[in-house]
Amino acid sequence: MSFYIGHEAPKLWRRICAETTTEINLLAENWKYILGGLIFQYIHGLGARGVHYLHRPGPTLQDTGYFLLPELGSDNAYISETVFTTIFLSFVLWTSHPFIFKTKKIYTVLIWCRVLAFLVACQFLRMLTFYSTQLPGPNYHCREGSKLATLPRPDSVLEVLLLNFPRGLLYGCGDLIFSSHMIFSLVFVRTYQKYGMLRFIKQCAWIAVIAQSFLIVASRKHYTVDVVVAWYTVNLVVFFVDKKLPELPDRTSAASLLPVSKDNKTKEENHKLLNGNTDPEDWRPRTQINGMIMEDGNAVHVEAAMNGV
């Protein structure tokens, strides 16, 4: 699939068309990986929903983080979710930035193939751990006396498969070790650390993840062990999986990924346009006559080297 980009089109629109064509071609080659990663997101949600049926409320376990951090309370639990949402949306916007900005190192489809591979590996390990041992949930809706702490026996398989979306995902219990929020946040931040270009944003991202770690414990959504295990497990998984995956192509030399066009020059122009090296509108025919560079029949520059002058 190709979009033909005219010279008279605005620069931003031409860049979006060029990026879209390239990403569609990449998606056609890698759609199986994207689809597999998305399907596993549903499987992970199904696993978290299933362990809720096994959850039995009980006294909150002794936790060092609970002694050190003051409890935010149910009314302020949204703070940690706000930080997580900010990290999540910021990463999604960053992976879409090649369509708008000239400076970029990544292809959106390829970066999400990589991210989904990290998420699948981490979530598979997470499901193994929380099905191995069910701990009494520390969250307010998981404690003794709450109607949501234990799910009644499902009336049908469909009730389980639909996950009671979105309430079933927001008010789950039993899927504790290790934190899913930390999985997403650490995978996103580590990915930007490697492929992002702004040092200030990298520093802010790590600060946000550290703050989220404390907020998750302070809001009593997880035990401290859930956060601690997430920190070393996710980083180790990303480190080893990343070594097994092929390195992302360098945009500045990946001309074969660019869209095919009507004339001979447009593909090279699109290559420049995609990578922000120059503006195609500055490409005008120039000829050289008697040491003078001519542009549209007019002399614009003279370089003379006469007798060493």
Selected residue with higher pLDDT from 149 and 183: 183
Question: What own/partner pairs with CB < 8 Å and gap ≥ 24 does 69-72 have?
Answer: 69/214, 69/217, 69/218, 70/218, 71/218, 71/219, 71/220, 72/215, 72/218, 72/219, 72/220
**Digit-coded pLDDT (tens) for 67-95:** 999 999 888 888 999 999 999 999 999 99
pLDDT of 30 above 80:
yes
**What is the share, in percent, of the chain residues with pLDDT greater than 90?**
51
pLDDT of 117 above 70:
yes
Phi, psi of 147 (to 5 degrees): -70, -20
Average pLDDT over residues 227-239: 97
pLDDT of 289 above 50:
no
In the set 44, 52, 226, 271, the catalytic residue is 226
Token pair recorded at residue 150: 């234990």
By three-state DSSP, how is residue 153 classified? coil
**Digit-coded pLDDT (tens) for 121-145:** 999 999 999 999 989 999 999 998 8
Amino acid identity of residue 115, one-letter, is V
44 is catalytic: no
Q: In what order do the strands lie in the sheet with 298-302?
A: 286-289, 292-295, 298-302
Give CA separation, 65 vs 57, 181, 224, 273, in Å.
20, 17, 6, 51
- What pLDDT does residue 255 have? 47
Selected residue with higher pLDDT from 181 and 106: 181
Task: Give the separation between CA 123 and CA 175, rounded to whole angstroms.
Answer: 11
Task: Give the separation between CA 230 and CA 234, rounded to whole angstroms.
Answer: 6
In the set 55, 181, 250, 263, the catalytic residue is 181
pTM above threshold 0.85: no
In the set 44, 52, 55, 222, the catalytic residue is 222
181 is catalytic: yes
Rounded (10°) angle between helices 199-218 and 224-244: 140
Selected residue with higher pLDDT from 4 and 110: 110
Average pLDDT over residues 100-108: 77
pLDDT of 199 above 70:
yes
